[in-house]
Amino acid sequence: MGEGDADALEDRCRLDKWLWCTRFYKTRSLAAQAVAGGKAHLNAARVKPAHAVKPGDQVSIVLGGVVADFTVVSLPSRRGPAPEAQRHYRETEPSRRRREQFREQHRLAELSRPRSDVRPDKRERRELRRLQRSQ
């Protein structure tokens, strides 16, 4: 392996490792499962977890039910604290607006949902379960 090959390896990183290092997933195996399960795409294509990521690539991830799009800015050398991890990617503007809109809709739906002031007791919980099963 020549010196040029070592430089080529340094400007690439596995997709699952990049997702883990940038703190999108808590473990690398969860990141690999997400990629294999189709929850993360690279350049609008479904790829395997070991696929190489390089600066300039577009990564799409399903976060909380909404697709978020990110541009790879740089490759992390380690999994560090969140502020350090955030320097390695930029979220696209349409993605950011879409996630904010979803968050606002979710907040409004939560406000309109009826809630009681106290927790249901054992009898009320059983009635609620019976109602949910019948629907």
Is residue 1 scored above 50 in pLDDT?
A: no
Task: Flag whether 24 is in a domain.
Answer: yes
pLDDT > 90 fraction of the chain, expressed in percent and rounded: 79
Task: Flag whether 68 is in a domain.
Answer: yes
Say how many domains are in the chain: 1
Task: Flag whether 109 is in a domain.
Answer: yes
Domain of 47 in residue numbering reads as 3-114
Dihedrals phi, psi of 100, to nearest 5 degrees? -65, -40
Task: Flag whether 88 is in a domain.
Answer: yes
Task: Flag whether 43 is in a domain.
Answer: yes
pLDDT tens for each residue of 90-132: 999 999 999 999 999 999 988 888 888 888 899 999 999 999 9
Q: Tell the residue number behind the tokens 């907040």, with chain if given.
A: 107
Band (pLDDT 50/70/90 cuts) for residue 135 is confident
Task: Flag whether 84 is in a domain.
Answer: yes
Task: Flag whether 21 is in a domain.
Answer: yes
pLDDT tens for each residue of 41-50: 999 999 999 9
CATH code, domain with 92:
3.10.290.10
For the whole model, what pTM was predicted? 0.76
Of 14, 13, 69, nearest in space to 40 by CA = 69
